[in-house]
Structures are given as structure tokens and as C-alpha cells.
Amino acid sequence: MSDSGCASCCRCCFSFILTSGLTALFMWLSLRTTNPICSIQDFYVPALNKTSNSQNTTTIYFNLKLDNPNKDKGIYYDTLNLTFYYAPNKTFPIANQSFSSFYQGHHKNAHRTETVATRGVPWKEVVAAENGSTVFRVDLVTAVRFKILAWKTKKHRLAVGADVEVNNSGEKANKKGIRLGSGAPERRCHRARLGLVVVVFTFLNLALFI
């Protein structure tokens, strides 16, 4: 009698742990977040347009796109800070632009466009040296938090950037959007794994209590 009792208890315990594990896996899957996809859709430097006589115009026009790839999570963006560099010299920013914080629903995208004034670009030299391609650097720094149902995650920093090549028309050489990527390796993976361990541990504790 005690043998069968023990066996059934074991089976019960085992199935409980299995169920808990599966639940934990599900929770982890539904709590997992994906960073927004940031890309430069348009980039226009009038001074580099060989067919116009706007060589004295020292502005840059850009169109930034922000995509929320999460199926069921909103994103709260902090102030978006954009910094522009003339590629050969990444130590000195030539322009910057901020956009105010906002909320983006799941599966939504947003555009931010602006014409920014530049400073410290040796335009005469740049235009003279221009030979089909001039490279600019765009960096974006912000912080995001995700909205999962009624709950908000902690803020985490998002720093991405990309080189943008501009051709003889003053336009972005590549028609496709240029995705801003992070230079540093992501720590998200570690955090997700840690989260999974925490969830599993909690469930195992619960199992012991019941």
C-alpha cells in the first residue's frame, strides 16, 4: 500500500514539476521582448546634389523610422537623441536632434523627419572631394520600457547607429532603409535566461509548498 502510495505521489509530483516547467516556459515566451527596429528611410544632403546650385545649403534632411516588432507589447520611448557625424571624423558631431518621448502600440511604426542645421563641416572640401559617395554616421540613443498588459518593464538603454552613404544626387545611395544596429553585444539574452531560471525556481518552490 505504501509502495503504490509513494509511486502515485511521485507521479503526481513529477507531473506537477513538468506542468510548472511548461508554464514557466510559456511565461518566459510571452514576457520576452524585442527591441524596436530603427532605420533611416531617407537622407538628403542638398550640398552634395551635383545637379543643383544649393551648394551653400548646409542642412541635412532625414526620415527616421521606428518599428515595434512585438506582437502584443507596447513600447515607451524616452527622449530620442540623434547625433550626426561626417564619417572620416567621428569625434566631432556635426549636428544633433532630439525628439520627445512617446508611446508606441504593438505592431505599430512611427516616422520622425527633420531638417537639421550642421556645424563644423568643411563643406567646400567635402563637395570637392565628393566622388560618388560621401559617408555620414547617424547615432541614436534613447531608453525604452515595454508595456506587457498593465505592467511596465524596467527602462533599458538603447544605443544604435549606422553609416549612411550619400551619392552624387545628395541622396542616400541605397534606396532601401538602413537599419541602425548596436555596436556592443546585447545583454538581453543573459537577462532572458536569468528570467527563465527565476520563473522555474519560483514554480519549484510553489510545488514544494503545496
Ligand X SMILES: *[C@@H]1O[C@H](CO)[C@@H](O)[C@H](O)[C@H]1NC(C)=O
Q: Which residues bind ligand X (CB under 6 A)?
A: 44, 49, 51-53, 56, 78-79, 81, 88-89, 91-96, 98, 119-120, 131-132, 141-143, 167-173, 175
Amino acid letter, residue 155: K
- How far apart are CB 135 and ligand X at their closest, in Å? 13
Is the Cβ of residue 32 or residue 156 nearer to ligand X in the bound state? Answer: 156
Is the Cβ of residue 141 or residue 196 nearer to ligand X in the bound state? Answer: 141
In the chain, what are the helix, strand and coil shares in percent, each to the nearest 5? Answer: 30, 45, 30
Tell me the H-state helices in the chain.
2-31, 123-129, 188-209
- How far apart are CB 37 and ligand X at their closest, in Å? 18
- How far apart are CB 147 and ligand X at their closest, in Å? 19
CB 48 within 8 A of CB 130: yes
- How far apart are CB 107 and ligand X at their closest, in Å? 24
As a whole number of angstroms, the distance between CA 55 and CA 6 comes to 86
- How far apart are CB 156 and ligand X at their closest, in Å? 11
As a whole number of angstroms, the distance between CA 171 and CA 108 comes to 27
3-state secondary structure (DSSP) of residue 117 = strand
Residue nearest to ligand X (CB): 52
Is the Cβ of residue 8 or residue 89 nearer to ligand X in the bound state? Answer: 89
Amino acid letter, residue 149: L
Amino acid letter, residue 22: L
CA angle (184, 185, 187) in 5-degree steps: 120
Is the Cβ of residue 88 or residue 105 nearer to ligand X in the bound state? Answer: 88
Is the Cβ of residue 4 or residue 131 nearer to ligand X in the bound state? Answer: 131
